[in-house]
Amino acid sequence: MKKTLLLLSVLFTIGLNAQITDCSELFISEYIEGPANNNAIEIYNPTNASINLTGYSINRYGNGATTGPDTWPLSGNLASGQAIAIGNGQLDSIWVSTYWSVPVDPVFYAACDLHGSGIYPTPFYFNGDDAMTLEKNGIPIDIFGKVGEDPGGAWTDDASAGYTDANGGTWWTKRQTLVRKASIKKGVTTNPILFNPTLEYDSLPDATYTGMGSHTCDCSNASSINENTSISYVMYPNPVNSGGSVAVNANTKVKSIVVINILGEQIRFNNTINTTGFAKGTYIITIEFADGRFAKNKLIVE
């Protein structure tokens, strides 16, 4: 137990030492925990440059866990001043241990910019009492909730209970849409002693999806400087096993994807890359979007 607590302390203190300054790094801009499995996390780029998402991940530390989170690695590009909402992609009822898990509804699904696999477990099966993190190369750059604490049903607005629901406070992290206040310019890098969701988030009614995919922030750096050349998209999964599929999702229609193999040959796909027959290694891909813009990235086949 002492070793576990020491590891947790080191992990969530490193972020503080990174000295993230205002408007210099991605952060969580919206949290949606809705009916059924209508769950999503929105991330925002407050900087004045596009950010390559390779090495970033969204993680769920469920029910007070301190290790072994469900992880959803990100790969792709997030343009300056843009936000992407990534939601649970479960479209069918699935059997989870002892019950049938209800799929997301079409309105929520359409409101998401991108979707997780929908295969349980993923980070997007959070239910109000799970800590969520945005991490870069395994180091937290933003923390929602308190890693290592199970607040009960949810974190609340009740200071007398340490913002848990021990005294029956109003739930803030279950059946709520929370939007980061415009005055917040960076993420939480140190695991909080107490997580008070009212400090940095505004609460909207349950099942509010209208603001997903955009965010208002006081960062003056975020602008449309790269609007004409940069585009936001996500590849998942990456790395991928040989014989698997990689989806490329963007808020602009993907026209085609070209993969250059180790022989220099070009293989063309639509918006899903099938790696059947691919040898292990790194491949260069070029994505052409319907509006004429292009993006390049690396695909790793394991």
CATH of the domain at 262: 2.60.40.1220
Residue 40 is part of which domain span? 2-204
Q: What is the pLDDT of residue 9?
A: 45
* Distance of alpha carbon 43 from alpha carbon 54, whole angstroms: 14
Final residue belonging to a domain, choices 183, 204, 225: 204
Mind listing the pLDDT tens digit for each residue in 64-120? 999 999 999 999 999 999 999 999 989 888 777 777 788 899 999 999 988 888 888
Q: How many CB atoms are closer than 10 A to CB 51? A: 22
- The answer to whether 115 touches 87, Cβ cutoff 8 Å, is yes
Pair (166, 116) in one structural domain: yes
Q: Kindly report the pTM of this predicted structure.
A: 0.87
Enter the tokens of residue 60. Answer: 């769920």
Pair (21, 145) in one structural domain: yes
Q: What is the mean pLDDT of the chain?
A: 88
User: Does the residue 142 lie in any domain?
Assistant: yes
User: Which amino acid is it at 48?
Assistant: N
Q: What is the pLDDT of residue 162?
A: 97
Which residues make Cβ contacts (< 8 Å) with residue 65, sequence separation at least 6? 147, 148
Q: How many CB atoms are closer than 10 A to CB 168? A: 11
How confident is the model over 193-216, as a mean pLDDT? 96
User: Does the residue 102 lie in any domain?
Assistant: yes
User: Does the residue 58 lie in any domain?
Assistant: yes
Pair (77, 7) in one structural domain: yes
Mind listing the pLDDT tens digit for each residue in 39-52? 999 999 999 999 99
* Distance of alpha carbon 16 from alpha carbon 10, whole angstroms: 10
pLDDT-derived band of residue 221, with 50, 70 and 90 as boundaries? Answer: low
In this model, does residue 230 exceed pLDDT 80? no
Mind listing the pLDDT tens digit for each residue in 234-265? 888 888 898 899 988 887 889 999 998 777 78
How many domains are contained in the chain? Answer: 2
Pair (62, 141) in one structural domain: yes
